[in-house]
Amino acid sequence: QTKQCSPPPQLLNGKVKETQKENYEHNDLVEYVCNPRFLMKGFNKIQCVDGQWTDLPVCIEVETTCGDIPELNYGYAVQTSNPPYHHGDSVQFNCREGFTMIGQKSITCIRGLWTQLPQCI
């Protein structure tokens, strides 16, 4: 006879993805998600095994801010917000008149680094 599990534990800087139940059966899975700007370390699901939950993942704050928007030769950034720029923030560029853009017209802050700048030629 296997035991049921009580509701799953709280996850610091994260939460259970679906609605919680009162009791969980042996082998039931629960999925967690981290809050924005946190990265999950470990498996995103825990399992009820004979009355005990398997190990929780951990949500770690990412050093997500990027520095100032890089300068684009012969171009300029459109509609910029004020720093800091966080993970997922994007900035769009235009080229000055007479110049043609090569590459992506926007850059994105990914885990503290800006993606590749376009070029204006």
14-61 belongs to CATH 2.30.30.20: no
Three-state DSSP at 47 gives strand
Q: Looking at domain 75-120, which CATH architecture does it have?
A: Ribbon (2.10)
Which position has the token pair 């035991």?
A: 3
pLDDT in tens, 91-112: 999 999 999 999 999 999 988 8
Note if the pTM is more than 0.75.
Answer: no
Where do the CATH 2.10.70.10 domains begin and end in the chain? 14-61, 75-120
- Whole-Å CA distances, 97 to 15, 60, 80, 104, 118: 49, 44, 20, 18, 16
- Bigger pLDDT: 81 vs 89: 89
Angle (CA) 91 39 65, round 5°: 35
